[in-house]
């Protein structure tokens, strides 16, 4: 009685026409055949017909209609699918929308089955441990497990299709947007597209109220990230790095600054890797815990290891971004930093006499000549490094990537300054040593302030 009341709609109008409650559909074709026929995309798809709200309508489980699926070949063979072209892009997008409708209906079925089971157990007063031991023997639970296994495969197929669409979008972007400036606030369209699809997939898995389906979906997500996504970014980065190992005179403009356009591909790949790492960390630390808490999803022992694997994936993206940042730094060092350091410090050659060296650079300071604050060459050194090397990259790199680049430049500038003084035996007394320490601290504080200011502006 309870099950019949829960499964059947009290409204007789919902029984007419194409709108059939699932119980009627099950009796007509058999639950197993109906599920398999709906999920096998070569034959059928579900089409929503005013699906009721979970919170407001607890009498009707769902209301679906089986309709012949078009463009079956393109949906059923994801690995052999050809790259998207302008002629068939709309049809593939339509198939993706149809598949998402099907997945949403499967989520409703899974969640409401869990609600129905919980309702019966609470009314019968069955203990939780007993339910955990006996629930797999029920035919309803076994059928839903089979259905959710198909659901996980469909999610995997959808993610693969979205990745193919993102790759096609990447090819289009490279052909049409090669002359457009890079914006640090936006990753490339393929990265945004891929992680948007991942977020939707994870959200559906959470709403299905099935911990095992969620873990399986996260496994497929991590497989996509560590496989095609990471391999594609690595290939792009390795393509850009070899040309940066040798100084290229074309990187100079009138002998004063390098061309940022020569770093365009490397900057884009670095930003994509940095953004991918950020998105994965946000997925692990915010999206998944918040979704599980709001959906009141039961705990699963398999979830923690999967999240640890995704954390390792985020580290791999971060290492890839760091590799790109080091490539950018090497270009800055050969094309700008060495030149501005020589210009600011004006250190004489090693063959020069000690008298000339003392006249050009000396920390032999008396109490009458000592002045607080940085020395003029050190202040000029920071300004030239900032203007010639860092400022052109400021609007193009992401916040974290720019901060890491600033750290590399700061370390090099400090070492270069120490080489210009201590390494060349610059005259120094006790008071001069205090001034030298103040100059080093000035450089480090200015670079740290530059990175923090940039981070604050981006946050605002």
Instruction: Give the CA distances from residue 6 to residues 14, 16, 60, 208, 235, in Å, rounded to whole numbers and listed in that order.
Output: 15, 19, 7, 19, 55
pLDDT at 258: 57
In a domain, 291, yes or no: no
Residue 206 lies in a domain: no
Question: Does residue 251 lie in a domain region?
Answer: no
Question: DSSP label at 8?
Answer: S
pLDDT below 50 — which residues of the chain? 1-87, 130-131, 133, 178, 185, 244-256, 347-360
- At residue 243, the pLDDT reads 55
Residue 432: predicted pLDDT: 81
Q: Which of 364, 363, 387, 391 is nearest to 377 (CA)?
A: 363
- The answer as to whether 68 is a domain residue is yes
- pLDDT given at position 30: 42
Query: According to the model, what pLDDT value does residue 298 have?
Result: 84
Residues of 52-88 as b/e, b for ≥16 C-beta within 10 angstroms? bebeeeeebbbbbebeebeebebbbeeeebeebeeee
Residue 97, in any domain of the structure: yes
Whether residue 359 lies inside any domain: the answer is yes
Select from 157, 180, 203 the last residue of a domain. 180
3-state secondary structure of 32: helix
State which residues form the domain around 418: 329-459
Domain final position from 180, 195, 214: 180
| 6 located within any domain | yes
In 3D space, the residue among 51, 61, 47, 59 whose CA is nearest the CA of residue 11 turns out to be 59
Q: What are phi and psi of 129, to 5 degrees?
A: -65, -35
- pTM score of the predicted model: 0.72
Long-range pairs for 116-124: beta carbons < 8 A, 24 or more residues apart = 116/3, 116/6, 116/7, 116/61, 116/140, 117/141, 119/2, 119/6, 120/2, 120/3, 123/2
Looking at residue 291, what is its pLDDT?
93
Give the chain's domain count.
Answer: 2
Where a domain ends, among 180, 215, 243?
180
Confidence at residue 90, expressed as pLDDT on a 0 to 100 scale = 53
Residue 409 falls within a domain, yes or no? Answer: yes
């Amino acid at each position: 009685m309870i099950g019949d009341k829960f499964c059947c709609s009290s409204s007789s109008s919902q029984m007419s026409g194409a709108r059939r409650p699932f119980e009627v559909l099950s009796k007509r074709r058999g639950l197993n055949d109906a599920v398999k026929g709906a999920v096998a995309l070569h034959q059928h798809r579900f089409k929503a017909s005013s699906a009721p709200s979970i919170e407001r309508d607890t009498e009707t489980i769902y209301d679906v209609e089986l309709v012949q699926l078009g463009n079956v070949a393109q949906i059923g063979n994801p690995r052999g699918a050809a790259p998207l072209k302008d002629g068939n892009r709309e049809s593939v997008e339509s198939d993706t929308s149809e598949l998402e409708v099907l997945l949403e209906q499967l989520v409703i079925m899974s969640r409401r089955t869990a609600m129905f089971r919980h309702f019966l157990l609470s009314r019968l007063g069955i203990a939780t441990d007993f339910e955990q031991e006996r629930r797999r023997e029920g035919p309803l639970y076994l059928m839903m497990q089979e259905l959710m296994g198909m659901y996980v495969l469909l999610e995997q197929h959808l993610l693969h299709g979205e990745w193919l669409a993102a790759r096609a979008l990447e090819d289009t972007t490279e052909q049409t947007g090669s002359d457009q400036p890079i914006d640090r606030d936006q990753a490339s369209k393929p990265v945004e597209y891929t992680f948007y699809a991942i977020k939707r997939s994870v959200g559906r898995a959470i709403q299905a109220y099935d911990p095992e389906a969620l873990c399986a979906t996260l496994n497929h997500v991590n497989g996509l990230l560590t496989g095609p996504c990471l391999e594609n970014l690595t290939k792009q980065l390795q393509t850009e790095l070899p040309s940066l190992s040798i100084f290229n005179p074309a990187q100079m403009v009138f002998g004063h600054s390098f061309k940022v356009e020569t770093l365009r591909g490397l900057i884009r790949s670095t930003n994509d890797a940095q953004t991918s790492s950020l998105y994965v960390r946000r997925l692990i630390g915010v999206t998944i815990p918040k979704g599980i808490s709001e959906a009141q999803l039961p705990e699963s022992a398999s979830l923690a290891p999967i999240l640890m694997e995704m954390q390792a994936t985020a580290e791999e993206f971060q290492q890839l971004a760091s590799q790109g940042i080091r490539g950018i730094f090497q270009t800055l060092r050969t094309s700008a930093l060495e030149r501005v350091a020589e210009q600011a410090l004006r250190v004489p050659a090693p063959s020069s006499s000690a008298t000339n060296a003392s006249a050009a650079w000396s920390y032999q300071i008396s109490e009458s000549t000592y002045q607080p604050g940085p020395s003029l060459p050190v202040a000029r050194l920071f300004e030239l490094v900032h203007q010639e090397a860092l400022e052109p990259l400021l609007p193009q790199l992401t916040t974290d990537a720019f901060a890491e680049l600033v750290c590399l430049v700061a370390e090099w500038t400090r070492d270069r300054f120490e080489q210009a003084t201590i390494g060349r035996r610059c005259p120094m007394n006790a008071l001069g040593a205090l001034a030298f320490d103040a100059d080093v601290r000035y450089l480090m504080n200015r670079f740290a302030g530059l990175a923090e200011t940039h981070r604050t502006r981006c946050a605002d």
